[in-house]
């Protein structure tokens, strides 16, 4: 047994700690025990061990911006603060031309990625959205397009009368490069019925991502936490992601997304505290031993908490964003106008004791000025 953990009184926790240190996979039961009984300092230590295996002392970020085409949506998830009905004064719907204008705002900036996700609009199918991708690629061919949650893909592909494989192939031809992780929420079917019963099932979400991976389209994965779920629900969610990653190796990163209480039908639940956030980051990092990256999405966490998360297993800060997303600000996030410069996000990473490393969307390093290597 590893002498490093002799101080731990709980034998079962000590056994788990040894397994993590020896790069052995922990079981769902052991993951649940970490959530319930391991102290936060130990979780930070173990998550740091796993983090360092994949990323050393680097913390990643990219130069990116978002397009949120519409907040009109056929679904009305109880946790959602973004959805608006047709005719609501706070609703919006951008045309192709208006969205292309957003892209053109970044013509003289060194952005490498556009992230496109929004509500599930009732009127548009795959070819409408594919046309948008084609226009963006024509204007800026090198820009990586990460677009459309599995929930959006389910609707647009089904509306076009195609299989997921057929639809994703067509979207790839239009210019789709990768898929974000939204819409996963929580995979437990009974809990899902309580918070988002109208949208695609957990099995459907996993099927769409598996199909994308098989076609060479990588994706991210998420989990919505801090609402009605238990630790067992979280472990079940992580286990399903880990199983699919074993099969496809197609996930780039995992992003824990915290339930925010403002302006939705689950506001009465409140929000979990920062200790719970860090606990969740750490156990996720430990459990997802086949994911290279855990992202602290700073528009959701806030800058200070994202910096803390880097010491509890997170290795990626997402990107500069340049005030182009409203999803979390509408739910009450502290970052109401999220934007950071390259210098600001690099300094935040340095302040946490890590080395800032700019990346592209697939985690290939982009060399910063005046250096020869990262």
pLDDT of residue 372: 40
Given a cut of 70, the residues of the chain with pLDDT beneath it are 1-2, 77-79, 81-86, 262-265, 323-338, 367-374
Q: Residues, the chain, total?
A: 374
Q: What is the pLDDT of residue 79?
A: 67
Fold type of domain 60-358: TIM Barrel (3.20.20)
Cα Rg of the chain (Å, integer): 20
Domain definitions of the chain by residue range: 60-358
What are 119-152's pLDDT values in tens digits? Answer: 888 888 899 999 999 999 999 999 999 999 999 9
Per DSSP, 359 falls in state B
pLDDT of residue 9: 83
> What is the tens place of the pLDDT at every residue in 177-190?
999 999 999 999 99
What was the pLDDT predicted at 6?
A: 79
CA distances in angstroms from 175 to 114, 153, 156, 179, listed in the order given: 12, 14, 16, 12
Output DSSP code: residue 38: -
Looking at residue 325, what is its pLDDT?
55
Pull the structure tokens for residue 142: 């090198």
The pTM score is: 0.91
Q: In this structure, what token pair is assigned to residue 292?
A: 């290279």
Q: What is the three-class DSSP state of 218?
A: strand
How far CA 102 is from CA of 83, 134, 324, 341, in Å, comes to 21, 15, 9, 18
């Amino acid at each position: 047994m590893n002498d490093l953990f002799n101080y731990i009184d709980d034998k079962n926790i000590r056994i788990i700690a040894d397994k993590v240190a020896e790069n052995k996979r922990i079981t769902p039961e052991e993951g649940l025990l970490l959530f319930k009984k391991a102290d936060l300092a130990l979780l930070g230590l173990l998550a740091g061990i796993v983090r360092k295996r994949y990323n050393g002392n680097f913390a990643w970020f990219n130069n990116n911006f978002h397009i949120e085409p519409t907040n009109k949506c056929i679904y009305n998830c109880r946790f959602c603060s973004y959805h608006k009905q047709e005719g609501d004064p706070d609703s919006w719907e951008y045309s192709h031309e208006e969205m292309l204008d957003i892209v053109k705002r970044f013509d003289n900036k060194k952005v490498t990625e556009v992230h496109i996700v929004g509500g599930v609009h009732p009127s548009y199918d795959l070819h409408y959205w594919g046309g948008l991708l084609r226009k963006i690629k024509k204007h800026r061919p090198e820009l990586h397009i990460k677009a459309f949650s599995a929930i959006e893909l389910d609707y647009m592909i089904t509306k076009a009368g195609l299989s997921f494989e057929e639809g994703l192939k067509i979207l790839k031809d239009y210019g789709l490069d990768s898929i974000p992780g939204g819409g996963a929420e929580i995979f437990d079917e009974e809990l899902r019925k309580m918070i988002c019963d109208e949208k695609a099932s957990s099995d459907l979400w996993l099927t769409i991502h598996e199909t994308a991976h098989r076609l060479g389209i990588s994706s991210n994965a998420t989990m919505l936490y801090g609402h009605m779920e238990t630790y067992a629900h979280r472990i079940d969610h992580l286990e399903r992601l880990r199983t699919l990653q074993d099969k496809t190796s197609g996930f780039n990163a995992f992003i824990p997304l915290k339930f925010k209480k403002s302006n939705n039908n689950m506001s009465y639940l409140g929000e979990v505290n920062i200790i719970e956030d860090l606990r969740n980051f750490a156990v996720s990092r430990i459990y997802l031993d086949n994911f290279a990256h855990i992202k602290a999405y700073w528009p959701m966490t806030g800058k200070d908490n994202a910096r803390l998360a880097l010491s509890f297993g997170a290795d990626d800060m997402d990107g500069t964003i340049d005030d182009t997303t409203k999803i979390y600000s509408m739910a009450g996030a502290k970052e109401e106008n999220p934007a950071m410069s390259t210098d600001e996000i690099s300094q935040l990473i340095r302040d946490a004791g890590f080395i800032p490393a700019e990346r592209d969307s697939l985690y290939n390093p982009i060399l910063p000025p005046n250096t020869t290597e990262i």
